[in-house]
Structure formats: C-alpha cells, structure tokens
Amino acid sequence: MSEGEGKKKYYYRKKEKKASEVRKPSGGRILMMLDKLVEDSEFLYPFYRFQEEGYAVDVVAPKAKETYSGKHGVPFTSNLSPDRVKIDDYDGLIIPGGRAPDYMRTNKGLVEIVKEAFQKDKIVAAICHGPQMLIEADVLRGRKITCWKSVVTDVKNAGAVFIDEAAVVDGNMVTSRSPTDLPQFCKEIIKLLRYRVTARVDEN
C-alpha cells in the first residue's frame, strides 16, 4: 500500500483558510436523535450550541411530539418521527449517548436514517454510547472512531479502529468518548460544517 493510501481525509483540512475566510452557516439544519434515558448533557449541550451557531435543530425519536426523560430526569420533546425525516434537508446528524442508543438501535426507522446520512455523505457525529447506532447501521468498517469504554470491543468487532482521544474525525464522521469531551466534540463538528459551507461558496 502506497503512503497515504487508505487514509481518510479531514474535510476541513482540504484547504487551509484564515478564520476571517471561513463562513458561518446561514439557514442550515441539524438533526438530533432522541430516546428514553439519553445522557442529558450530551443532548442539551449540542442542542443549544448548534442553535447558537445559527442552525435550526430538529429532534427525531420513535414518536413525534413525545416527551422522553433523560438519565438524570430532564424531559426532552421530539418534533419528528423517523418516517417524517428527509435527510437531504439536513447538514448533519448528532447521536447522543446514555442508554438511549440501546433503545434507538432497535428502531428500524432510526437506523435507516443513520445509513442514509452516510450514503449521502452528511456529517454524522456520535458521542459516548452513540456509536452503537453506527454499529447497527454497519458503517464502521475500516473507520477510525472513539467511544465510551464499554463500547470499545463492540466497535472493534464492527470493523472500526479505536483511538482513545477526546474527539476523532474520520471523513464525514466525528466521535467522542463522554460528556467531558463535549466542547471538543462540538468544536470538531462545527469545523466540518463551516468548511463545507465555505467550500460550497468557493465552488460557486
């Protein structure tokens, strides 16, 4: 194998730009997944951070307009069911952790959303136990990933290369280990989103 062959590219490193040249999004959309016993902070932090960044955030769960309690009792409400999601409407998909992914992975509609997001090269980000959804969607073969320690063997068995870092970026995918990694997790997602926006504008 020649040098560099088989390595994934980091989209935001394709063309280095000054901070002033990197455009913020306008009118973009993010989709977040939800189910019962989600890790509260892993849902709340990205939910508000990406609105702050200028994105509209939709929440998909097994049922629309349903309230789901997080691990620590915080109530979260969905606005979409899987059958109402059009992945082309979104710039990225975020999968929080906690015990929720273990429930979400049994919902065929939610798993199909993950598969389609990868097929259409959307940015997909998963934290903590969130990579369980990536395992279920069978999208990890040969990819670099991080996750919560109890999921490490599972991602390896799914064909991924585990890296013990706060945030791992592999192509369109961002993964992190735990709530303490949330700042780096969101930072890396935002980098990908901004550089994609800038690349689209430059192409035009």
pLDDT tens, position by position, 117-127: 999 999 999 99
3-state secondary structure of 92: strand
Residues labelled as active-site residues: 129
Closest residue by Cα to residue 95 from 154, 67, 135: 135
Query: Is the pLDDT assigned to residue 198 strictly greater than 70?
Result: no
Question: In terms of pTM, does the model score above 0.95?
Answer: no
All domains of the chain, ordered by start, with CATH? Answer: 25-198 (3.40.50.880)
Which residues sit opposite 170 in a β-bridge? 173
Contact 95, 125 (CB under 8 A): yes
Burial of 88 (C-beta count, 10 Å sphere; 0-12/13-18/19+):
exposed
Helices (H), 57-172: 100-104, 108-119, 131-136, 152-157
Q: What is the pLDDT of residue 21?
A: 45
Query: Is the pLDDT assigned to residue 8 strictly greater than 70?
Result: no
Confidence of residue 196 (pLDDT cuts 50, 70, 90): confident
- The proportion of the chain whose per-residue pLDDT surpasses 90, expressed as a percent, equals 81
Query: Is the pLDDT assigned to residue 3 strictly greater than 90?
Result: no
User: 199: how many CB neighbours lie within 10 A of its CB?
Assistant: 16
